[in-house]
Amino acid sequence: MKKINLSTNNKLALIALILGFIAVFFGTPYESNKAMVNTEELALNIIDTNNIISPLQLAEWIIQGKVDYRLIDLRDENQYEDYFIPGAENIPPTKIKSSELLRNEKILIYSDDELKTAQSWLLLKTLGYKNVYMLKGGIENWKKSIIFAIVTDETKEAKLIEISKYFGGNPKIGTGSEMNVAQELPKAALPKVQSPPSTGGTKKGKPKREGC
């Protein structure tokens, strides 16, 4: 048999060719629908109450201008367009996987249904998102405790009134019995919110430059 002499370059080219050829049979490694879960970690996460954020806490984050988290509205588009918490992006559960959320980002999710939120939390954890938080009571609780806040003592809770007004809310002063009146306010009374700047990573500042 004739001996074939290959230079180092030829050998490397041959390796690349073989690896490339094998890739044809493995297809895409990026779109798998299967995922591995660390059940131990998940169980500990469920006990942990630190992953639940109260509306007041969120309101303070927004007022402080915190940008180290992404606020995700899980409801459908129509509900989102009707009203959303300032800064929220609309990503329904079916679009989570194809979304541009990063695995190491702090993600705060809310919906109009706590069960739906909890299920989505599990989905996000399964997909490998590290820091996923839920808004306690969802958007209804947000409306109830921020937008239509009931204040019993005006001087003691001046901060809450200020926060509520910041979000265009309408804080009521009185006892808890008036709560029902506040809840029955028509949706039109909700302050309109400007859409956040388009998603697509603009939130993280200017695109980085990379090149030769």
Partner 1 sequence: MMAPFYKFDMFGEEFSFIIAFIIGIGFGFFLERAGFGSAKKLTSQFYFTDMAVFKVMFTAIVTAMLGVYYLSLIGFLDYNLIYRNETFLLPQIVGGLILGFGFIIGGYCPGTSLVAASTGKLDGIFFLLGVIAGTFGLSLIFPIIEPFYYSTAMGKLNLSDVLHVPYGILVFAVVLMALGGFIAAEWAEKRFAKKTVEVKNEKD
Nearer to partner 1, 95 or 103 (CB): 103
Nearer to partner 1, 35 or 181 (CB): 35
Q: Which stretch binds partner 1 (CB under 8 A): 23-31, 56-64, 113-121, 137-145?
A: 23-31
Shortest distance in whole angstroms from residue 54 CB to partner 1: 26
Q: Does residue 212 bind partner 1 (CB under 8 A)?
A: yes
CA nearest 193: which of 74, 59, 84?
Answer: 84
Count of residues that interact with partner 1, criterion CB under 8 A: 29
Q: Does residue 21 bind partner 1 (CB under 8 A)?
A: yes
Residue in 6, 11, 16, 38 binding partner 1, rule: CB under 8 A: 16
Structure tokens at 83: 């009203």
Q: Does residue 11 bind partner 1 (CB under 8 A)?
A: no
Angle (CA) 98-100-106 rounded to 5° is 120
- The residue type of 152 is T
Angle (CA) 88-92-95 rounded to 5° is 115
Shortest distance in whole angstroms from residue 122 CB to partner 1: 18
Q: Does residue 205 bind partner 1 (CB under 8 A)?
A: no
Residue in 24, 47, 115, 188 binding partner 1, rule: CB under 8 A: 24
Measured between alpha carbons, how far is 145 from 210 in angstroms, rounded to an integer?
A: 46
Measured between alpha carbons, how far is 85 from 192 in angstroms, rounded to an integer?
A: 10
Site string for partner 1, 91-110 (x = CB under 8 A): ---------x-xxx------
**Environment class of residue 36 by beta-carbon count within 10 Å: exposed (0-12), middle (13-18) or buried (19+)?**
exposed
Q: Which stretch binds partner 1 (CB under 8 A): 107-115, 145-153, 174-182, 203-211?
A: 203-211
User: Could you tell me if 42 and 127 are in contact, meaning their C-beta atoms sit under 8 angstroms apart?
Assistant: no
Q: Which stretch binds partner 1 (CB under 8 A): 47-55, 60-68, 146-154, 202-210?
A: 202-210
User: Could you tell me if 117 and 90 are in contact, meaning their C-beta atoms sit under 8 angstroms apart?
Assistant: no
Q: Does residue 8 bind partner 1 (CB under 8 A)?
A: no
- What are the angstrom distances between the C-alpha of 86 and each of 129, 131, 174, 201, 207? 23, 20, 27, 17, 24
Contacts to partner 1 by CB under 8 A: 13, 16-17, 19-21, 23-30, 36, 100, 102-104, 128, 130, 200-201, 207-212
